[in-house]
Structure 1
Amino acid sequence: MGQGQSSDNGNHPTTEQLSHELALKFAKRCFTPLELYSFQDVFKSLADHQNSIAYLKEDTIARFLEIPDILGASSIIFQMVSYLGAFPFGQDAPVVLGFEQMIMVVVIMTQRYQRVLKKGNRDRTKLLFRSLAVYDRGSHNEDEKPEEHAADKQSHEAPSASRSHAAGFAIDDAANDGDDEDDDDLALAALESLDAIEVFRHGDAPISQASIPSDNLKKLIMLLLLIAPLGIQESLARHSERLVGDQLEGLRRTADNILAAFVNVEKSPGVKIHQFNTVIPISFPYLFTGFNPLFEHFLFSKNIDFTKRKDSSTAPPPPPNHLENQPLLAQTGEILDLNVLSQLSFFLPGGTLFRQLRLLYSGGDAGFSMGSFETKVFNWRAPTILLVAGNRISEPPEGGQERAFSDRLPPKRFPDSGKSSRVVFGVYLSQHWRQTHKECFGETDTLLFQLEPVHEVFHASSINKDYVAFTKPPTAHSGLFFGCPHPKAKQTAGLSSHVSLGAVSLMLDSSFEFGVFTHNYTSGGGAFHNSETRKADFQDRFEIESLEVWGCGGDAEAEQQRQRWAWEEREAEARRRVNLGTGDIEADRALLEMAGLIGGNRSGGSMS
């Protein structure tokens, strides 16, 4: 590590001394005694030695964490940890990963630093950006050619190496939110905890000159998708089946969709800090959560027998974890598979997804109709996730059904969102489904999102509450509406023959044949907020290929749904057995009373 600058009077400690003091503080307050003992044992068993210095190498870390070679992410992880090991003096990176440096790495990667430094995820996000970034020194080396620094070479070089790259996203042009001269708050907090704030140095290159190579970020995203469901002390090798054949291709496609949220790879080779800070809080708040269990492997030594007590008696074995024996996804849908499930966990807590989702409705199995949708979904009394996939229809539409659908919509004024023909959208709904007659339902935690070809999450407005509408005939326009004004029954029929679409909205027609997603950026948003990165008007009209609804919850929710289905079946059976028209009015009345259809003040035809 580099030697710190001291003041003229020489009273200030060096950066090496401060790093040592911070490592001790982290070790005492962020690890339990048993975790620290395990960490020491793991480091000792893995370390190489040179001139009495113990350190970890890249292949050692990759092998210990079981990072698959096929992902090509080992060098990227090593670049990250070599930077984080220098914390809080990033300008000294990359560092040799000795014992104290690895304490810094594990504390940051598992977010245990929050026990000492009361800072939020945004600070860690910036720190992770710096650990992944390369720096543009092109203004100082004008003779350098960009092609000399291909992406596959960048991942093996130190973060401070010379770089040159093209301009980034257009959203960087007007970005001046303090990132350029923003201090690294987490580093400042660390020094403040040591009463050494005056030692903070501004020797690191400006973050505005940094970018993450797109190829590197894609490899990292593939790893993050793979480790998203990882449990405490769970081996990553258990998920090796996701790295072969169609699963691997699906992993790559999903990573491409996620990468598209950050950068247009055709126009820019790298992701800038403004894009990183803009996209992650909105669309990927849990993107790096998988690092927590992955790096906690350093805190569990296989050489220590945790079943032994001091009196040499054997401790009772821990109760079996039945969840670990359950599959991450009980059944694969036409849209939802393990890769898409991991993608969802980047913005929905994984604890509500992995081993928790149940397929309630699939159009391919139950039929594409609102009736079958209502039968399968309405009895679920827990959050649900709706997914719809399809292919864009041509403009102007060619077939008769396509033209009929387009005639119901206002004239198309916006272009398609991109070149890809396949689109996937979805909705997360915490309330249970119901038919709407006059107004929409849903809460402010309702999410409208796109998964393909660009991942993006549209959060609900707290003012406009036109979140979800499920309308059946005789409503003028029946179907599923998300972010659209409620199509009131009959009264709109004489005013307009067109469906009223919201500024940011998704609509599926009543036959579940066609859908339309609208992003009217110019209008300023509606029930769902505008995109923060795609600052343009666009509309995708598509033919529905697959539609499915997944219930979030465990056995209790499933049992509640089963009981409601059983009750409805008994009611239906009671109605079928009522034998009316026999001439025996009293017998007919008795049967209706037994079925609970009449009685008290009820009339013969009333269910209320």
Structure 2
Amino acid sequence: MGQATSNERPLRHLSHEEVAKELANKFARKCFTPLELLSLKDVFHSLADQDHQVAHLKQHAIASFLGIPDSLDVSAVLFQMMSSIAAFPFLEDAPAIIGLEQLVIIVTILTRRYRKALASAGLNRRKLIFRSLAVYDRQLCTTRPSGESETTNDEGSHDANSTGEDAAPEGDDDDDDPLALEALKCLDCALETAQHGSTPFFHRAAIPTDSLRKLIMLLLLIAPLDAQDSLASYEATLSHDDLENLRQTANCVLESFLDTGQTQSVVYPRFDAVISATMPFLFNGLTALFEHFLFSKNLDFHGHKDEEVQPPPSIPSPDSRAQPPQPLLEDTGSIMNFSVLSQLSLFIPGTSLFRCLRLLYSGDEDGYSMGSFETKVFNWRAPTILLVSGARLGDEEDHTRSGPASAFLASLPSKRFPPGNRRGTGDDTLTFGIYLSQPWKHTHRECFGTDDSILFQLSPVHDVFRASTMNKDYASFVKPSAKTTPIGGISFGCPPPQNTQAHRRSTIMSLGPVSLALEDSFEFGCFTHNYTMQGGAFQTSGFRKFDFQDRFEISSLEVWGCGGDEEAKHQAERWAWEAREAEARRRINLGTGDIEADRALLEMAGLIGANRSGGSMG
């Protein structure tokens, strides 16, 4: 990968291969350390096959090196993506043979290191990935879903990924020779083509759903991956049930990309809108996966003395390698498992999830009551994630149900929207959740929560509803009381209880435009998406642009705490203190009828007085 000299022929006579070589050279110099480049070359030569004296990588060699599980059947999809990106910036030449220079381009793009070299041109990795997976479909001219335009504007699309993966760095002191500079001027034009694509291709290109499903399963599996983690070890821990959970979760994510009029393939406008709104971190795992090419097992990283070839910090020491890794999830719940954890990492940073979650409350173990919920959750002083799952109540439930279901349905406003899954997949299991960074507390006049709260749906459709600034009714916890309101429960996006007499007598829930409400017995819940009102405390869906409502019977409810040992220690200390208080109260024999004598006993026990309150004695 030598550098071109300035006495070669002018740029206008350079071939696509020669321009691509200039790009590979620039990437090699600006995006990798000497040791990383040495490792990449060593890995390539150890894996490459020789055909007609041309060294290149084949599908089985790449899959074996990366540890791609056979059970996912995704190797062909991954190789297609790599072969297409290998032709960058002239994507019309794809698929390309993956030689050393092409591997440099692939790794640079998929690890997002291109930002160090392409300051002026910029690059949209998401669009490149779409094109690398898409096929030309002549039928899309007539089967395009209604409401999707013929053109898209990348600059106008909203990317919720706070990392700004496609943003160009500020400044780039380019010391290339004149030929390289001239080549990169041509490259700017080529990048423009790669960025926006030829109009006929992007308007008639689509990703087959089966290919996208397989890729999503891989992306969920590698979501927690580090550059030094072995993907093969992940597969070794996957049981048959784990694999089935992974497939079911991938189907829920895939459902977001599908429209009622387009079920066999995914077009770019939908692809871009869904990822921007609901899964900005979808492709983050590719960075760690393809950084595996930068760490050769044949090189001794710890034996070099030269500063320029010192091992990067991500390479563990021999002692750390011997230690068993901390599990990604210490406990599983009725809802939470590895697949759901990876699904959450599509829109919540993985640093807040992997090896950080603790089960605080489980309805199956702790009882479905607001009292047990309060006891288990209120002392956690770090972010929490609530998950609730249940079976959808059909329209016939309004007329045939009796008892609690009838009372719950009667407490809802009479206006009923259709279900949220228009495609009618037959899956009536619903899973919703909320991410809250603020500790839980009782709601009186104002709701709690901050503008980083996230309301979301996990199944049967993956969707995310981010906090809005229209109002701050993010979360409420209200126990029913004759003195305040007969309607209690936990809600998100609903207005707080009112103190007027009219509201005290009301038995109808006040639902927000985009809201999740769980009644106080934790038997039933209701999710509302009033798109017509354009949201309230939470924004409307980025791709389901219609009104819908899902009423369901709760089967599981759990709360997970995001935090480390310090948060767990604080909560344990609080629980221990409350247990001692409760035991002290239990041992005191009250009920003599003498209020003053009972109060004196409580003061002697240290339970009231000295800034303590033993509750009302009256």
TM range (shorter): 0.7 to 0.9
Residue 588 of structure 1 and its aligned partner are, at CA, apart by: 6.3
Which ranges in structure 1 are unaligned for 5 or more consecutive residues?
A: 1-7, 139-163
Deviations 1:546-595 (A, max 9, x none): 00001111111111111111222233334445566699979964861662
* Equivalent residue, structure 1, for 2:410: 407
* Equivalent residue, structure 2, for 1:360: 360
Match among 263, 284, 290 for residue 289 of structure 1: 284
Equivalent runs, 1:318-337 vs 2, <5 Å:
318=318, 320=320, 325-337=325-337
Match among 153, 167, 187 for residue 178 of structure 1: 153
Q: Is the 8 A contact 1:463 1:527 kept in 2?
A: yes
Root-mean-square deviation (CA), in Å? 3.3
Deviations 1:132-177 (A, max 9, x none): 1111245xxxxxxxxxxxxxxxxxxxxxxxxx786243342x4644
**TM-score, structure 2 normalization:** 0.84
* Equivalent residue, structure 2, for 1:151: none
Q: Is the 8 A contact 1:598 1:606 kept in 2?
A: no
Distance (whole Å) between structure 2 residues aligned to residue 588 and residue 181 of structure 1? 67
Q: Is the 8 A contact 1:135 1:205 kept in 2?
A: no
Which has the larger displacement, 14-23 or 375-384? 14-23
* Equivalent residue, structure 2, for 1:378: 378
Distance (whole Å) between structure 2 residues aligned to residue 33 and residue 465 of structure 1? 51
Does residue 68 in structure 1 map to residue 75 in structure 2?
Answer: no
Distance 1:11 1:326, change over 3 A: closer
* Equivalent residue, structure 1, for 2:175: none
Q: Is the 8 A contact 2:151 2:203 kept in 1?
A: no
Q: Is the 8 A contact 2:453 2:467 kept in 1?
A: yes
Which has the larger displacement, 482-491 or 28-37? 482-491
Equivalent runs, 1:90-129 vs 2, <5 Å:
90-118=91-119, 123-129=124-130
Match among 415, 427, 452 for residue 459 of structure 2: 452
Residue 122 of structure 1 and its aligned partner are, at CA, apart by: 8.1
Equivalent runs, 1:150-165 vs 2, <5 Å:
none
Equivalent position amino acid for 1:60 in 2 = A
Does residue 214 in structure 1 map to residue 209 in structure 2?
Answer: yes
Match among 500, 525, 532 for residue 522 of structure 1: 532
Distance 1:490 1:97, change over 3 A: same
Distance (whole Å) between structure 1 residues aligned to residue 434 and residue 109 of structure 2? 33
Residue 538 of structure 1 and its aligned partner are, at CA, apart by: 1.1
Equivalent position amino acid for 2:446 in 1 = E
Distance 1:535 1:192, change over 3 A: farther
Distance (whole Å) between structure 2 residues aligned to residue 603 and residue 326 of structure 1? 42
Equivalent runs, 1:130-529 vs 2, <5 Å:
130-137=131-138, 167-172=143-148, 174=149, 176-178=151-153, 194-196=184-186, 199-200=189-190, 202=193, 205-206=198-199, 207-241=202-236, 243-264=238-259, 267-310=262-305, 317-318=317-318, 320=320, 325-397=325-397, 398-418=401-421, 419=424, 420-474=427-481, 475-476=484-485, 477-489=487-499, 491-493=501-503, 496-529=506-539
Does residue 543 in structure 1 map to residue 550 in structure 2?
Answer: no
Distance (whole Å) between structure 1 residues aligned to residue 607 and residue 358 of structure 2? 32
Equivalent position amino acid for 2:146 in 1 = A
Q: Secondary structure at the match of 1:517?
A: strand
* Equivalent residue, structure 2, for 1:50: 51
Residue 33 of structure 1 and its aligned partner are, at CA, apart by: 1.1
Q: Is the 8 A contact 2:135 2:206 kept in 1?
A: yes
Equivalent position amino acid for 1:228 in 2 = A
Q: Secondary structure at the match of 2:503?
A: coil
Deviations 1:448-507 (A, max 9, x none): 111110000011102211110100122421000111111225644356431111111100
Distance (whole Å) between structure 2 residues aligned to residue 491 and residue 406 of structure 1? 23
Distance 1:392 1:181, change over 3 A: closer
Distance (whole Å) between structure 1 residues aligned to residue 385 and residue 263 of structure 2? 33
Q: Is the 8 A contact 1:506 1:518 kept in 2?
A: yes
Distance (whole Å) between structure 2 residues aligned to residue 75 and residue 411 of structure 1? 51
Q: Secondary structure at the match of 1:196?
A: helix
Equivalent position amino acid for 1:178 in 2 = N
* Equivalent residue, structure 1, for 2:4: none
Distance (whole Å) between structure 2 residues aligned to residue 70 and residue 405 of structure 1? 44
Distance (whole Å) between structure 2 residues aligned to residue 578 and residue 491 of structure 1? 40
Q: Is the 8 A contact 1:361 1:373 kept in 2?
A: yes
Equivalent position amino acid for 1:170 in 2 = S
Deviations 1:14-33 (A, max 9, x none): 43232212211211221111
Distance (whole Å) between structure 2 residues aligned to residue 137 and residue 294 of structure 1? 34
Distance 1:537 1:51, change over 3 A: same
Distance (whole Å) between structure 2 residues aligned to residue 250 and residue 307 of structure 1? 40
Which has the larger displacement, 202-211 or 475-484? 202-211
Give the count of matched residue pairs: 568
Residue 251 of structure 1 and its aligned partner are, at CA, apart by: 1.5
**TM-score, structure 1 normalization:** 0.86
Distance 1:513 1:319, change over 3 A: same
Which has the larger displacement, 496-505 or 394-403? 394-403
Q: Secondary structure at the match of 1:325?
A: coil
Q: Is the 8 A contact 2:386 2:434 kept in 1?
A: yes
Deviations 1:329-382 (A, max 9, x none): 111100111111111111111121111111100000000000000000001111
Deviations 1:92-114 (A, max 9, x none): 21111110100010111111112
Distance (whole Å) between structure 2 residues aligned to residue 582 and residue 318 of structure 1? 71
Q: Secondary structure at the match of 2:472?
A: coil
* Equivalent residue, structure 2, for 1:143: none
Distance (whole Å) between structure 1 residues aligned to residue 145 and residue 230 of structure 2? 38
Q: Is the 8 A contact 1:578 1:592 kept in 2?
A: no
